[in-house]
Structure 1
């Protein structure tokens, strides 16, 4: 009997061991299943969050696009166009953007006046001349809608070139106004190349094809030619400023020397007509309501630009961008 009992206990031992193994496997499988479910839930959550974000951006884009192209009746308003930043082709202060905004403002039936709100250090003389000529043309075509300029922080160089085309110019007493001149700058590296032991190899066809090459000794004849070029652009600048401002300008040799002044000083020199802000001028015109006709990047464009900046910053942090250059 004892032998039978002993054999039975031995027989049950492996069965209990198998049960323990199965329980362990079951726990592992259940834990893995739970983890997979948790991961799937988080994945669905983040996908849904991304979808909502993209949808919100698209709705904002569509809404703003519709609002920017159709401005309803206002009963009379002053159209405001911002000229901010460097005046250059492709920029918001470039000719295409400013002329497009001006055209849209003048086409609105409730526009009673236009104010160019200027905050720019200047830029391309070509772009400035384009805008100057278009303002003069639109003033002749729309004599019943006066066009003014209000200089905020700075209206210098090409920015003042644009302002001179308007009927009147206003600024703050502390604004920077003027800088009626032309500049071009560069560097000469020929002595540095001699010290380092670098040989310059350049092949051109034409006596002046390498005009003002920074790696070659400055040619006096080319320097003289370049100064003539700058003087010609300067004379065009002076001519248009005189055309726009007329006899309001004070006869002073410093006026076209490239110097700039505060708004208070500019008023004494006849460069501006008074010290007023955009809101003050709009109220005096009898139409305190202002409507912004400035060309702005769409929300989608702004989103793409911000996304690109964020991605670049992330790459810098990761050290990925060290070998990447933009040319």
Structure 2
């Protein structure tokens, strides 16, 4: 007799062994499990990223807070002292040589009832005549407002051009014998590529609205008119520089044909020429001239966030200026 079960129904063992029937449930489940694990890993990675980002943001906020609150109090420092402000590096629109940085420090130092005098320590090769001029104007204004509070300049390694532009407004200038002082002059530099372009077969196609809009374009031939106009600007700024030096140094200045030629000299020679008054450091001036040995630094020190933002802004702004003008700006350097 034939077994109906074996005849009419499929063999269960063969069904279980079939590669296409019975395994799809397991494969689907495995896919779901792996997808869930992958999703959890991704969620964990994003969670770590956001937590780290929050910690970094919190760190910068705390840094800026403590830097702002402990860099100095707005209250007067009542003890008699010598106020110190430092200018290091190029005189430009950012950094310790910018008007935005120096002016608040000057105002705070002069306004403090405990400061007997202000020392401006300068270590700069020069830079922007605009920034230097703004600082000089503010020094002159403060000296009128606080006639009994002198301002002295102490030269570090170098005080040339724009640095000396500022120094000339001080009551006295003190140097080291080997300091570099002077360079009363103005320059505007750049490059001309017309010869190179001709050799390479490159044609300059410059379209302007306004006949002088391509003023000193480095890829176009220099015209006599533009050169004369640039020289006129330089002479005018140079005249402003000379006026500040003459007004600041007065009869102490032993003027010669070389004084305003753009040359610079050692500190020892600068004293002989009347460009400086004597030798000294911040400590010796505070002790021997001001008679207030305690020195308090009023220099505006930027925190890291401010430096990063200012650097970014200056880079974008500088790129925009170069893109629009294509020329260098005058520098007292």
TM-score relative to the length of structure 2:
0.73
1:131 counterpart = 2:135: yes
Cα distance in structure 1, aligned partners of 2:100 and 2:311: 23
Question: 1:218–1:70: structure 2 CA closer, same or farther, 3 Å change rule?
Answer: same
1:300 counterpart = 2:305: yes
Aligned-residue RMSD, C-alpha: 3.9
Aligned to 1:96: 100
Aligned to 1:84: 88
Question: Match for 1:223 among 227, 239, 256?
Answer: 227
Aligned to 2:18: none
1:59 counterpart = 2:62: yes
Aligned to 2:318: none
Give 1:259 deviation, angstroms.
0.4
Give 1:119 deviation, angstroms.
1.3
Cα distance in structure 2, aligned partners of 1:234 and 1:47: 56
Question: 1:41–1:96: structure 2 CA closer, same or farther, 3 Å change rule?
Answer: closer
Q: Secondary structure at the match of 1:86?
A: coil
Question: 1:202–1:69: structure 2 CA closer, same or farther, 3 Å change rule?
Answer: same
> Mind listing any 5+ residue stretches in structure 1 that lack a counterpart?
1-32, 309-325
Question: 1:256–1:58: structure 2 CA closer, same or farther, 3 Å change rule?
Answer: same
The C-alpha deviation readout for 1:176-226, integer Å capped at 9, x for no partner, is: 1100011112222222222224143433433x343333212432x332332
State how many pairs are aligned: 309
The C-alpha deviation readout for 1:263-310, integer Å capped at 9, x for no partner, is: 12211111111221112212222232323333x2234324668999xx
Aligned to 1:114: 118
Structure 1 stretch 145-154 or stretch 43-52: which is displaced more?
43-52
Higher normalized helix content (fraction of residues):
1
TM-score relative to the length of structure 1:
0.74
Give 1:156 deviation, angstroms.
0.7
Aligned to 1:211: 215
Aligned to 2:283: 279
1:178 counterpart = 2:182: yes
> Are the equivalent residues in 1 in contact too, given 2:84–2:296 (CA < 8 A)?
yes
Aligned to 1:6: none
Question: 1:268–1:127: structure 2 CA closer, same or farther, 3 Å change rule?
Answer: same
> Mind listing any 5+ residue stretches in structure 2 that lack a counterpart?
1-35, 314-322, 325-333
Q: Secondary structure at the match of 1:301?
A: helix
Question: 1:36–1:269: structure 2 CA closer, same or farther, 3 Å change rule?
Answer: same
Aligned to 2:331: none
Cα distance in structure 1, aligned partners of 2:196 and 2:312: 41
Give 1:140-155 correspondences, 5 Å limit.
140-155=144-159
Question: 1:198–1:80: structure 2 CA closer, same or farther, 3 Å change rule?
Answer: same
Question: Match for 1:290 among 292, 296, 315?
Answer: 296
The C-alpha deviation readout for 1:215-265, integer Å capped at 9, x for no partner, is: 12432x332332222122111111110100011112321111100112122
> Are the equivalent residues in 1 in contact too, given 2:108–2:298 (CA < 8 A)?
no
> Are the equivalent residues in 2 in contact too, given 1:190–1:217 (CA < 8 A)?
no
